[in-house]
Amino acid sequence: MRRVDTPTSNLRFAAPKERRVAVITGGARGIGRAAALRIAPEGRDIVIADVLEAEAAETIAEIEALGQEAVYVATDVRDESAVHALVETTVERFGRLDILVCSAGILGKEKPFLEQSAEQFANVMQINLHGVYFAHQAAIPKMLAGGWGRCVTISSGARRGSPNQVPYSVSKGAVYTLIGALGGAWAKDNVFVNGVEPSRALTDMVVPRFSKEFLANPGIPIGRYSDPEELAEVIEFLCSERNTYTTGAVWSVKGAPG
């Protein structure tokens, strides 16, 4: 066991703070990248699972500059065998898998429902939902074997329904339900499954779609959209030993109630 010097806290049910291993899908950029850079300094080695090799290399260089190991595993989360191979590669390299962050996702086409093709719907669901499903099925047995695990998936307020984003909305609604379904399954085994739900974070998925004026005045109580790093703070907590009593929850990080 590789211990980390930083103490966990006085939480009596907290696991010992030690060097752990995290897989982050979609970790090359956006919220996944921010999560990787926030989780790594806590004594975590990071596996970036993505299809964006160049961006992943940049993220890995930043993680290594923090003194942690990081590797890139090219992974199309639509491919169940590729996701299982990702997990096996991680365990072969590091000997364990403790943390899973599912950040890989696409918005798809913003069009009215009647203009959304079945192919488009299937592609969004394969990445946003099936990829999350595959990752949890592959990773959780490793966490159970190690006696500790934390999983976090990015949800979206669009799960409540958006007429021009129906495939995306349905995928995020299903993810929300999946988190609730899995959250209590292994709680006594100290494997927790949670989610984080932003409004809009200033990422490559959001910024190109709106004017600077709109992004500066989004009409929510806090008066701005979030930086990915703000979401990463919540993700890191949910993935940490300090999280001793939260599972099956989707944390709202929206700058507003609800």
How do beta strands 149-154 and 99-102 pair? Answer: parallel
Q: Which member of 168, 176, 225, 245 is catalytic?
A: 168
Give residues with Cβ within 8 angstroms of 156, minimum separation 6: 168, 169, 172, 197, 198
Q: Is 168 a catalytic residue?
A: yes
Using CA atoms, how far residue 221 sits from 50, 184, 206, 215, in Å, is: 34, 33, 19, 14
**Exposed, middle or buried: residue 39 (CB in 10 Å: 0-12, 13-18, 19+)?**
buried
Q: What is the DSSP string of 164-193?
A: T-HHHHHHHHHHHHHHHHHHTTSGGGTEEE
96 Cα distance to chain centroid: 19
Active site residue ranges: 168
